[in-house]
Structure 1
Amino acid sequence: MDSPEISAAYDAVRSDKDATNWMLVADIPGTKKIGLSKTGTGGLAELVSELDDGQVQYAYVRQEYANDSESTRVKFALIIWIGENTKIMRKARVSIESGEVKKVLSHHSIQVDASDKSDLDEKDIIMRLRKAGGADYNGGRG
């Protein structure tokens, strides 16, 4: 989990100067280790399209949203994806493994545990980020 590729991708997602706004960490085939799988610039929708129903994957995403009519906020979400077709023994490793992932992908406002792509609706994620962010300049309208 502690690799230069993951650190570089994490820094890129967090940087306002880099277009990369998500990263995906997953099993390295043939090992019991996880590593950087993909990165992208297409936001949450693109990230969701890369999730595999037969895998455990960890995603880190930068989400920008309107704070009010004149400003925007940037927040980060950690997504723990356990696809519905993931093998039971693989699912069993998630509780320990996710602790290691959270140490590396440490700066996030919310954690989203998901097993279905409908769990990752952008409006719902933004609403949760707003609530986690403290002041709500949108009058509770999400």
Structure 2
Amino acid sequence: MSVQLDANIATAYEDVRNDKTDTNWMLMEYVDDKTDVLKVAATGTGGFPDFKNHLKEDKAAFGFVRKVIGNDELSKRAKFVLVSWCGPKVKVMRKAKLSVHIAEVKSVVKNFAVEISAQNVEELNETEVDLLLKKAMGANYDRQSSQY
């Protein structure tokens, strides 16, 4: 049940991590419904909203997003989010393999502060993601509150 990762995934991952480029997200999708091969489906510079616009209801995918988070001007840092996406119309067999395939994805996408599994875009609320990233940073200078 192993997944194959296209060589371009590592390149796109490094591009998202690179502070000198504008690329701040990538989306990995399966080549087709029959094979377990992941490819880079898209990359972009439009941040989390742009990334979410590329998620499809009938696709399973993995995403990697860079977000600049900080409590003030002096503490702004790039933090990374790994997203496991399983759209509500994904076939049962593909759904079953996602939990196994994430381990292979993590062999390339190694550095992230927060990991999120989502089945609809409402679960990817940017304000809540930012809060999770701030919590992952450790310091709580602005005393954000949450139900988490």
TM-score computed with the length of structure 1 as normaliser: 0.93
Where do residues 5-44 of structure 1 align in structure 2 (5 Å cutoff)?
Answer: 5-29=8-32, 31-44=35-48
Where do residues 1-142 of structure 1 align in structure 2 (5 Å cutoff)?
Answer: 1-29=4-32, 31-141=35-145
In the TM superposition, residue 70 of structure 1 has moved relative to its aligned partner by 4.1
1:12-34 deviations in Å (ceiling 9; x for gaps): 10010000000000101363311
After the TM superposition, which of the residue ranges 21-30 and 61-70 deviates more from structure 2? Answer: 61-70
> How far apart are the structure 2 equivalents of 1:70 and 1:37?
35
- Give structure 1 stretches of 5+ with no counterpart: none
TM-score computed with the length of structure 2 as normaliser: 0.89
After the TM superposition, which of the residue ranges 20-29 and 60-69 deviates more from structure 2? Answer: 60-69
Summarize the Cα distance change of 1:132–1:71 in structure 2 as closer, same or farther, 3 Å threshold: closer
Identity %: 35
In the TM superposition, residue 4 of structure 1 has moved relative to its aligned partner by 3.0
Q: CA RMSD in A?
A: 1.5
In the TM superposition, residue 132 of structure 1 has moved relative to its aligned partner by 1.1
- Give structure 2 stretches of 5+ with no counterpart: none
